Every structure is written in structure tokens, then in C-alpha cells.
Amino acid sequence: MTRRAPASYNGVVLTAPFSTPYQRYSIDTAHHWIARALKGSLDSVGLKKNQLDGFSVSSFTLFPDSAVGLTQHLGLSTRWLDHVPMGGASAGVALRRAARAVQAGDADIVACVAGDTNHIDSFRQLLSSFSRFAMDASYPYGYGGPNANFALLTDHYMNEFGATRTDFGRICVSQRDNALKNPRAVMQKQLTLDQYLKARLIADPIALFDCVMPCAGAESFLVMHEDKALQLGIPFARLTAAIERHNAHADDPMQLRGGWTLDRDTLWEMAGCTPLDIDVMQTYDDYPVIVMMQFEDLGMCEKGEGPTFVRDHDLTINGNFPHNTSGGQLSAGQAGAAGGFIGMVEALRQVTGQASGTQVKDAARALVTGFGMINYDRGLCTSATVLETGVRA
Amino acid sequence: MTDPLLAPPKKNPQRRSTSPTRPPEMRSRAALGLTAAAAEGRLALQCCAECATWQYPPRDACVACLSNDLPWVDFPPQGQLLAETTVQTSPRLYYRERVPWRIGTVKTDVGPIILVHIHPDVTPQSAIHLTAHLDRAGQGVLVAMPPQETSNAMDAPLMRELTADPKHRRVLLTDARAENAPAMAKALKDAGAAIIFIGESESWRPYTARAALQEIGVEFMPLDVTDTLSVQTLAGEIGGKTDILINNAQFVRPGGALARGDVGFAQNEMDVNYFGMMRLAQAFGPGMCKRTADEANSAVAWVNLLHIGALANTPEYGAFAASQSAAHSLSQSLRSEFRTAGLRVMNVFSGPTESDWFASLPPPKVLPQSLARDVIKGLQAGVEDVWSGDIAKDVRDRFRRDPKVLERELTFGGDGP
Amino acid sequence: MTTLTDLAASLASGTIRVVDLTHTLDPDFPVIILPPEFGQCARFRMEEISAYDHRGPAWKWHNISMSEHTGTHFDAPSHWVSGRDVPFGSVDAISPENFVGPVVVIDCVAQSNANEDYEMVIDDITAWEKQHGTIPNGSWIMMRTDWSKRQGAAYLNMREDGPHSPGPAPEAIKFLIDERDILGFGTETVGTDSGQGSHAVPPYPAHYYLHGAGKFGLQCLSGLDQLPATGAILIAAPLKIKDGTGSPLRVLAMVDNT
């Protein structure tokens, strides 16, 4: 039985990238940060709140509210509403939903926002009620949180493919280089490979610089039809391809590959190019091992060749494979669910020439990959998106 | 190999005692099935009744065929350790105080992937043998052990956390006059208990076993579980040194309500078997709960010896059985009241014991040595429910199959199946 | 001036002294032990209900429980099978003048020291009367053994064949009842019978004959060494328990202090 090919994303554009500054601890709420980012996006393109007719939100700390509560809280009246609780894959998934709504005319201007607060005990609270399987079968064992889960994945990956900590360190060091050009990044000091290797262990083999810093903050962008963007006279990027997959490869004993492997052919076909045709890649970088997996699974290199790929490429802004140009979460900080948006918003800036200090020269095509939600022992959600320049700023 | 556990040094009286903390306690209802099996020392997981797929983590519908029929079945423990990490820091106090803590991912031979605690004697990426235990939160957890037994394996700090081993611990056995007292004391001594306090009531009335107990080497302490002041006084003296309390005080007489004709003996049964437990819990409980994190000789377990009549009344001893039900119910309350401290309540059920008041019953009966051995094994395994002897296991199985049918079997008598 | 006002004056001045012949009621005091198939004598127990605290801020009190025959106690005729039909045989029915009366103390200390199973015989009574005169009718007879001074296991003195403690020989009891019409008989041990009395025929003969004749018993007495051989007045009033067969009580004696 032949599967229908997904319809193209013709006409769908992204605009109005906005990032709030990040704050290590905040006494304010997720509602506060989401509103800040939403306002930022709307103001940047001269739109009013009441011109919004679609709203998608991703957040971990909105409880007891979800998207519905926010409509009344923020005074939004929409004909399309979504809540995307998919962690690092949220931007790609929110975008796919919004794109089809805009194409079908179910909504004209959709705001996609992700934001979280970070109280002193937010991390601990979040862990304690993250998922049923985590509660039953993961946290009772050492309560190391995602650090421990990813340490297990890293251990397995290293044993399976001979990756070394130095290989992972290269990713972290290059991202830190990039972050130094991003005034909003929480990490503002240089990181050497030596410092990376000597850092305090968190859960062997993961050490301090393998881990993101949880923050409060928010990211947002708007999705609309190209005609609308042209009418408004604002810079925009075109969406050319997007995929998502959940609970892929369930029979793999441990996660060495993600769901992207199942849909990347579709992605590149829709994008009309090959993996190495892209100018900049933003991966979901909660831990460097997952970054390597994203390089492999999107087709930059073969499975297990991640270390070689990293060794052979310069991942800095001016290098031959610009990657996580704002510093990624590892250096810019992880504002909860906004960590799943940071790549999309940065990619949008890159292809519309709005990236200022982190701008990759002439960036015209960007790949944004998302990964998230360790429900028990592996990340369940994956997404990938290709953006191209529409109109530059 | 694990180093043998050394006797702990004397406690520094100037240091604040470590406050009890626990690993996470919350579990879904399905996951409690693992706990229920671990409470008896069994490793069990759900196995789909329709397609025979093993399930892990525990769930409400088969991962392969969506069937809701997922009974708990004894699980083949063999597996391979695929990956591991040593947690160096945790936001959870219990683990924060105990890092570095080794965990890993096991691929079991029959399928499921399981996150486990790893015993220090396990080599990386090797074949392992899974066991199930109750952790300090009283929940079932899985441990990867080396496939061959290693020396002093139970002395590893991980295993001391998951068990109530009497080695190097100080034990209070509440009734020196009980027929099982000498066997209990001997078994405790052989298991490495540091001190055995033994409660002796009514010193104005001699009993023959005293010499034997003296020979074994116990410390006689005045204690009458029917005398509130006596219990409180002893708790004042040794409450802070009681790591394991084994309540073997028991009053038993034959007969149901009608056979007795009055409530005199029943009052004794309740006073010893039920109120005795309550008095002991009120006097010793709070102190033991404060000391569950007190290094190597922490307070760790409360042991009740119960007759199987607790589960389903045995009419020949009907009044006594009722007192056992009362005691059993109270022990469940104690489980809850001791829960936050991580103090384990272990109930050892047995059928009639080889003792005076069950003399008129036919065999099989449980010998004091067997009961004592089962108590020790239960403590060493850190379980909550022990079934000592064939009758106890039989009644347990019948009760679980259908309690009403069992009630009929026990109250009908006669010709058997 | 009446005899009573004289008495009051004597008590106030100390020429008459009040002596306490009672053991403290406490949970550790021994009780009689019967074969285990039978109901046992309940020990004395106290449950503190409040002590000027959240359970009762301005007061302290206990609930107490015991047998009618715990500690220093009184035996009524209804206590024994032989006395079951004696009229007014329960503690609430006994006429109160029976609770105050003359007391005679027969010293068997030396004999008991030499023989823990000593039984007081008629000769002991005769010897006493030679010295002090005939025992008046209606007297309490106390067999003094100084047994109350024994501590711990030595008090019940329990061995494989039962307890070993002194008491009256059956003939002595019958003599006191038939020939001297005593009010009752008292001992320092847990029973009016000797420790080995359960092996006699009938078992516990002192109980059997005393209560069959409508006489009373007192047990676990102390302080008999403070009484003269004769001349003191005993006060022994049991609790007025409905159909009671006995009760723990405060046993007092008024003794000439001159």
C-alpha cells in the first residue's frame, strides 16, 4: 500500500522571532514570561494582540493552567488553540500544526510561544511529577533526573561507537564560542576543552559542561501566510519541510537513534535538497550525545560517525558547519520548554538576517531539529524543520 | 568483592543524628504490583495473558496487543547490563546523602529494559541476575546482582539500605518466657546481632528456659507488655538502642466464643497480642523512627509474630484468631505510621507452632528453630511478609484464591475437598 | 466523755497508733498462680488517662484494673464453692460490724524460717493461749511468718511442684472455726492456704473450711510484726462490689502505743 505524500508547506511563513532575556531564578510565573515573549513578537512586527487568531503554547510550569487558561489570562480570543507539551520537539510540532491551520484558513496569524519560570525548587518539583514511567521506574533509582538518563545513553553510545569525552567536548566548546557573540547567553566565559574534560562529574560520564543551566525565559514566533507577511512588509522565512515522530524504534534496547531516521527522506524530498546543502543547523542540545545523534539521524553522516563528523567540521559561526549559533541551550541556557524553541527562533533570525552578533554570512537555508521527553529511558518526541529565506530584514 | 561490614564505632554523642530521608515514594497503582511481590521477596512483572509479552514499566494495557489482562508473574531474572552511570549529585536528599550511587540499564533475557540499582560486585556490561527488594520508602525496586554469589554481598551499603539485616544491630526480643525465645535468641546471635535485649516479665515467677537464655548470652530487661509503665520504663532505658524490635509476646488459649463462656481469656489475648503491640509501638516507635538513618546500626525493623488466624479465623482458636486479626490490622496501621521514617514492619505468619497451647493439633507444626530461621531470613532479605511453614503458605494461597471459600473451608470442618 | 471521744483523743495524742498492714498495689506485686487451663488472677494494671496535659489539663487520673483477689485482699464466703450458699456471703452483703474487730497474731516466724512449707498446727494455738489466754470469739487470727519481707521470686517461692510457703494445717483451721468461732483468718502469703495447699484433700483446705463456715480471709498482709499478740483492733473493709467475692483493700490496725 503506497502512503500518500504529505502536502507541501507552500505559503506558510515564519516571522517575528523574539527571545526574552533569560534569568537563572525568577519569582515570576510562566504566564509572565510567555506574555513577555508574545508581546515582544507582536511589537516587533507592529501587530496588535487582537489581530492574533491562533495561539500555541509550550510550557512545563503553567500548572494549573494550560493554553485555555492563558487565553483568558492574556485576553486572547482565538479560533485556533493548541498546547504542545513535547519538550525539545515542541517548536517543530507547534509549527506543523500552525502551518496546516494557516494553509487551510482555520487561522490567519498564529503565535507559537514557549516559556517557563524557574523557581528555586522548580527543578525538583518538575522531576517529581514528570511522567508516570519516570515516577515508577526511573527516579526511584538514584533520582539523578535527566542527567542520569542521558548518562546511561552516553555510556552506551561511547561503548557502542568508541566516542570519547573529547568528541563531546568539541561540541560544547564550539557552542560556547558561539555564545560569546550572543549577549543574551547566560554563559559568558570562554570554555576550553581542558576545562570541559576536568569538570566536576554529575553522573558518569556526564560532567558539569555537558549539562544545561535551567533558567526562566521565553521564546516566540508568528506563523502566517506569505501574502499576509508581504502585506505587513515584515521579514519572513519560508517553511519548506517538517517532520515529527513519537516513540520510534521502541524495540531498540537503548536509544542510539531517534525517530528522524524514519522520516528524513520525506524531509529532504520536501525541502528539495540534501542534508549538506544547509547553511546552518540548530540541534536540540540538552546533552552533546543527542547532538551527535541528530547529525547522524538527519543524514549529515552515517550512524556512529558522529565523532568523526565533529572532528572533521568547524561548528562555530564562521566555520564550515555553523551549529547552534546562539550557543544552544548548553551555553545560552534552557528556559524550560523554551529550550525547544531556541533553535527555531535562532534559525528564523539567521535566514532573515536578524541574528546580529551570531549571524552566519548569507545564511539562506536552516535545519532545526527537536528532541525531547524522556518518559522512562529514552526521548520519545523528535521533530525536524527546514526554513529558507523569504524576505530578509 | 565486598569488604565485610565492620562493627560500627561508638556513636559520637555530640553529633546530631542524621535525620531519616527516603527515596521517592509515589507509584502508580499498577507499579504497586511490583512492590507487593517484592514485599514477599518475589521478583514479578506483568505478563500479558493474551500474547505473553512481558511489560515494564508496569502499565494498564499490553504494549504489544492492548489487552487489559496483565497478571503479575514470577519473572526470569537473567539479563545483561547494557550501560551504567554513577550519580554524583541529586536534588533528592536521600540520594544526595548517599552518592555516589550506581545505576544502570539492563536488557532482560525475556525482553523488557529495566533501570536498576547495581550491586558493587557487578562488572560493567556483564551478565547479571535481577532481584527485587523494598527500598527505604517501602517500594519495590530492582537490583542487578552478579550471577554468582559473592562473599559479603549483603554487607554492601546498597544492600544494608534495602534490608533489615540483624548483623551488628541491637535487637529487643520482647518475651523471654515465649517457647520460641531460646531459638530466636540463638538465631539472632548466629546472625551477628550485637546485643540481644530480652524482655522478662514477672521476675517473681521462675521459668525453665532462663538458664538456656543466659547460656546464649542475652541481656535480661524487665518488660511486661500488659503493663504500660513497664513498657514505657524500658523504652526510656533502651529505646535509643533498639534497632530491631521482635515482638514474640503471645497469649493463646483454645476455643471460640461459645466454648469459652466468658471474655476472661479473650481479654488476656487482646491485652497481650493487640494492646501489647500498641503499648510497644507507642513507647518504642517514635524513638526508632528517629534513628532509621543512624549509620550502620540504624533502627530498621519492627517484627510481629502472628498466627495465620489473623488472615482467616481458625475457629478451634476462634477468640485467639480474632486477637491476631486485631494485631494484624494494627500492624498495617503501624506500617503507615512508620512509613515516613522508613522503618520496616515485618509480619511473620505461621500456622500452629510446636508449643503447649497447640499441642492438641495434628502436625505439621512450626518448630521454634524454623520460625526463628524464617524471622532471620526475612530480616536479611528486607521483606514485609513472611509465611513460615506449610500451613501458613497453604492458608495464604487459599485466601488469595478466594477468601470466602477459605472461610467456608475453615468454618465447615469435616471431610475435606 | 464517751469511749469514742476517748478514742479520738488517744489517736490525736498518739497513745493509739494506726498501723498499715497493706502492700502497695503495684503492677509488679505477685499474684496467685493457678494451673494455666483456668482463668488466672488478673494482675494490677494502671493506664494513665491524663496528667495535667492535653489529655486533661488540670487533672491527673488513672484507669485501674485488677482481680478481686489482687494484692492485699479480702476473701468473702462466696469466693469458695463450700461457701456458695452461705447467706450474705458476698462483700456487699456482709454486715459492716464484721469489718472492725479484735485481732490475734500467732507467731510462726521461727518455724517458717526453718521450713518454708510449715503448717501451723493446734499445738501452736494452744501454746499461744497458754501465754495470752483463750482466743476471744469473733477475733481475726493472723498467722505471722514475716513472709511479707521476702522479695522477688522468693515470695511465691515457685518450684516444679508449685509454690512453697507456710499456712494453716486443716485441723488447725477447723479448730479455730469450731472451737473459737473466729471472724476470719489472715496470712502474709498470697493465700490463706499454704503454698502446697493445692495438693491437699480437699484442695486449699483453709479456703474450703473457712468460707464453708461463713468466715473471711485476708491475704498479702504486711507489718504483722508491728502488732501485739493480742489487744489490737483490726479494720478490714472490702469494697462494696455487687456480688463481689472479695476485694483489694486497706487493712489497718489500731495499736496501743503506751
| Bond prior to B157 in cis (omega within 30° of 0) | no
Count Cβ atoms below 10 Å from residue A290 Cβ, excluding itself. 23
Query: What confidence score (pLDDT) does residue B413 get?
Result: 62
B202 touches chain C (CB under 8 A): yes
Contact between residue B45 and residue B34 where contact means Cβ atoms under 8 Å apart:
yes
CA distance A381 to A259: 8
Among the partner residues C28, C40, C47, nearest to B228 by beta-carbon distance: C47
Neighbours of chain B (3+ CB pairs under 8 A): A, C
Tell me which of A205, A232, A259 is where a domain ends: A232
Query: What confidence score (pLDDT) does residue B414 get?
Result: 62
Chain-centre distance of CA C71, in angstroms?
10
My answer on whether A55 and A174 are in the same domain is: no
Q: Which residue segment(s) compose the domain that A29 sits in?
A: 12-121+216-232
- What per-residue string of b and e applies to C57-76 under the rule 16 or more CB within 10 Å gives b? eeeeeeeeebbbbbbbbbbb
Query: What confidence score (pLDDT) does residue B17 get?
Result: 77
CA distance A346 to A343: 5
Domain B170-411, classified CATH 3.30.70.250, yes or no:
no
Query: What confidence score (pLDDT) does residue A1 get?
Result: 56
Query: What confidence score (pLDDT) does residue B6 get?
Result: 87
Output the nine-digit C-alpha cell for A177. 564560542
- First CA to last CA across chain B, in angstroms? 52
My answer on whether A170 and A251 are in the same domain is: yes
CA distance C7 to B396: 74
3-state secondary structure of B293: coil
Output the nine-digit C-alpha cell for B337. 505510621
Instruction: Enumerate residue ranges in chain B where pLDDT < 50.
Output: none
C150 touches chain B (CB under 8 A): no
**Touch between chain B and chain C: 3 or more Cβ pairs under 8 Å:** yes
Crossing angle for the helix pair A288-297 and A165-179, to the nearest 10 degrees: 90
**Touch between chain B and chain A: 3 or more Cβ pairs under 8 Å:** yes
Phi, psi dihedrals of residue A286, rounded to the nearest 5°: -65, -35
User: What CATH code is assigned to C17-256?
Assistant: 3.50.30.50
In a domain, A56, yes or no: yes
Residue whose cell numbers read 553529633? B15
My answer on whether A151 and A197 are in the same domain is: yes
Residue of chain C whose Cα is closest to the Cα of B226: C45
C45 touches chain B (CB under 8 A): yes
Mutate to test the interface with C, among B204, B205, B208 (most CBs of C within 10 A): B204
Closest CA to C117 of C189, C187, C196: C196
Residues of C assigned a catalytic role? 79
Q: Do C156 and B204 touch (CB under 8 A)?
A: yes
**Alpha-carbon torsion C87, C88, C89, C90, what sign?**
positive
B228 touches chain C (CB under 8 A): yes
CA distance A277 to A360: 15
B276 touches chain A (CB under 8 A): no
Output the nine-digit C-alpha cell for B18. 542524621
C31 touches chain B (CB under 8 A): no
Q: Where are the domains of chain C?
A: 17-256
Contacts of B115 in chain A (CB under 8 A): 137-138, 141, 152, 376-377
Average pLDDT, chain C: 96
B230 touches chain C (CB under 8 A): yes
Closest CA to C155 of C184, C182, C188: C188
In a domain, A68, yes or no: yes
In a domain, A3, yes or no: no
Q: Where are the domains of chain B?
A: 32-162, 170-411
CA distance B347 to B305: 6
CA distance A145 to B89: 10
Tell me the per-residue pLDDT of A320-359, one tens digit each, with 9 for 90 and over: 999 999 999 999 999 999 999 999 999 999 999 999 999 9
CA distance A149 to A372: 12
Report the DSSP beta bridge partners of residue B117: B103, B143
Query: What confidence score (pLDDT) does residue A123 get?
Result: 75
Query: What confidence score (pLDDT) does residue C37 get?
Result: 86
Contacts of C38 in chain B (CB under 8 A): none
Q: Is the ipTM of this complex over 0.85?
A: yes
3-state secondary structure of A214: strand
In a domain, A63, yes or no: yes
Closest CA to A378 of B82, B123, B118: B82
In a domain, A6, yes or no: no
In a domain, A133, yes or no: no
Count Cβ atoms below 10 Å from residue B415 Cβ, excluding itself. 5
My answer on whether A149 and A79 are in the same domain is: no
My answer on whether A192 and A98 are in the same domain is: no
My answer on whether A105 and A158 are in the same domain is: no
Among the partner residues C30, C39, C46, nearest to B204 by beta-carbon distance: C30
Mutate to test the interface with A, among B46, B80, B87, B162 (most CBs of A within 10 A): B87
Split into its structural domains, chain A has a count of: 2
Q: Do A135 and B95 touch (CB under 8 A)?
A: no
Closest CA to B254 of B329, B359, B349: B359
Q: For residue A72, what is the domain's CATH number?
A: 3.40.47.10
3-state secondary structure of B378: helix
Closest CA to C163 of B356, B206, B202: B206
Query: What confidence score (pLDDT) does residue C251 get?
Result: 98
In a domain, A129, yes or no: no
Query: Global pTM?
Result: 0.91
Mutate to test the interface with C, among B179, B205, B221, B357 (most CBs of C within 10 A): B205
Q: Which helix (H) or strand (E) holds B322?
A: helix B318-337
Edge-first strand order for the sheet with C251-256 is C16-20, C251-256, C232-236, C100-107, C140-144, C184-187, C216-219, C73-75, C246-248
Report the DSSP beta bridge partners of residue C209: none
Give start and end residues of each alpha helix (H) in chain A. Answer: 30-44, 67-74, 90-104, 122-128, 132-137, 145-161, 165-179, 193-198, 226-232, 260-271, 288-297, 306-312, 328-332, 342-351
Instruction: Enumerate residue ranges in chain A where pLDDT < 50.
Output: none
Residue whose cell numbers read 510449715? C118
My answer on whether A41 and A174 are in the same domain is: no
Residue of chain B whose Cα is closest to the Cα of C152: B204
Q: What are the distances in angstroms from CA C202 to CA A13, A113, C80?
A: 113, 100, 12
CA distance A168 to A206: 10
My answer on whether A276 and A222 are in the same domain is: no
My answer on whether A79 and A32 are in the same domain is: yes
Tell me the per-residue pLDDT of C161-209, one tens digit each, with 9 for 90 and over: 999 999 999 999 999 999 999 999 999 999 999 999 999 989 999 999 9
